[in-house]
Amino acid sequence: MSILSKFFGKKEKADLDKGLEKTRSNFLGKLGKAVLGKSRIDDDVLDDIEEILIASDVGVATTVKIIDKLEERVSRDKYFGADELNSFLEEEISQLLSNQNIKNTNDVYMDNAPKPYVIMVVGVNGVGKTTTIGKLAHRFKQEGKNVIIGAGDTFRAAAVEQIDIWGKRIGVPVVKQAQGSDPASVAYDTLQSAIAQNADVVLIDTAGRLHNKVNLMNELTKIRRVMSKLLSDAPHETMLVIDASTGQNAFEQAKQFIAATEVSSLTVTKLDGTAKGGVVIGVSDQFQVPVKYIGVGEQADHLQPFNPQEFVKSFFVGAN
């Protein structure tokens, strides 16, 4: 059974619908005004749709792809009108997302996953990285996994304390050192402990400072090198956490981290507090990195596996 079918039920659907409420209302409201009174999609409507997609933080490159396909459809079908527009956009966006997420083979629920499966979590301060780690640990533990967290963000004053609180709350051990310690040393101790305890999943936090690219690469490379002394292929996944509410800044963060290290998956947080949910579509398509999880609320179970089809359905719910 896949992770999506395993976890996506009525509650998850309801949480997703509620989490995307601001994005959906903003996007569909603008789209409705653009086509109001129109019997067909003309050049003016195409321009309006392009502006709406960009304003929804879908991103310029991805918006151009969608508009190009829409123009092809309009020119091919003389009577393609406003009634068909939402269905077309839903289908096209779903295809874009599905193409990327099919590529995600780093799934801890796969039967042949390495043990322990090591996830190094990266991202700037304030995006919800530490909270995401706590929620991931909670989800894995609920699945019956033996989880260990490494408090590797040793530079931010409250980071170690924050992740330690999460560990105590959900009953997951946290390996930590004093503030200012070498993050690579924390990662090494965490992995050593995980191997000794036969853990299933290891979550390694990292510093969220806005490094320049060279310093960021050096630090993450060192963490990888140190862990490889114990487990040659660790980390098995590098997860970048970005905050949907930052809009276009999320694209810039993704660009910097992907340039600095090998990012294999994305988690997009805080979708419930913003109308900028289109960023999920844009970053997945533009950077060719699959979105693995999305945050749709504050509770521990509000971090849910990303289901492209259900996301798009929720994005357009009530539109057709």
Lowest mean pLDDT among 22-26, 184-188, 207-211: 207-211
Q: Which of 4, 22, 12 is nearest to 302 (CA)?
A: 12
All structural domains of the chain: 14-101 (1.20.120.140), 117-307 (3.40.50.300)
pLDDT at 212: 64
112: tokens are: 């042949």
Q: Compare 5 and 35 and report the one with higher pLDDT.
A: 35
What is the reported pLDDT for 136? 95
Using alpha carbons, list the distances in angstroms from residue 97 to 8, 100, 116, 288, 289.
17, 5, 29, 10, 10
Q: Rounded CA gap, 53 and 31, in Å?
A: 9
The span from the CA of 254 to the CA of 241, in Å, is: 9
Residue 172 has pLDDT above 50, yes or no: yes
Determine the pLDDT at residue 241: 96
Confidence check: pLDDT of 213 > 90: no
User: What value does the mean pLDDT take over residues 156-176?
Assistant: 93
Decide if 55 contacts 279 (C-beta within 8 A): no
> Of 259, 315, 290, which is closest to residue 57 (Cα–Cα)?
315
| Average pLDDT in the chain | 86
Q: How confident is the model at residue 96 (pLDDT cuts 50, 70, 90)?
A: confident
What separation, in Å, do the N-terminal and C-terminal C-alpha atoms of the chain show? 31
3 has pLDDT over 50: no
Highest mean pLDDT among 31-35, 104-108, 170-174: 170-174
The fraction of the chain above a pLDDT of 90, given in percent, is 45
Asked if residues 315 and 27 have their Cβ atoms less than 8 Å apart, the reply is: yes
pLDDT band at 73 (very low <50, low <70, confident <90, very high): confident
Backbone dihedral angles phi then psi of residue 262, each to the nearest 5 degrees: -85, 105
Separation CA 282–CA 130 (nearest Å): 24
Q: Is the pTM of this model over 0.75?
A: yes
The arrangement of strands across the sheet holding 291-295 comes to 174-175, 147-150, 201-205, 117-122, 237-243, 265-269, 291-295, 303-305
- For 15-28, the pLDDT digits (tens) are 998 999 998 898 88
In angstroms, the CA 35 to CA 9 distance is 34
Per the CB < 8 A criterion, the answer to whether 23 and 274 are in contact is yes
Rounded CA-CA distance 107/236 in Å is 10
Per-residue pLDDT at 101:
57
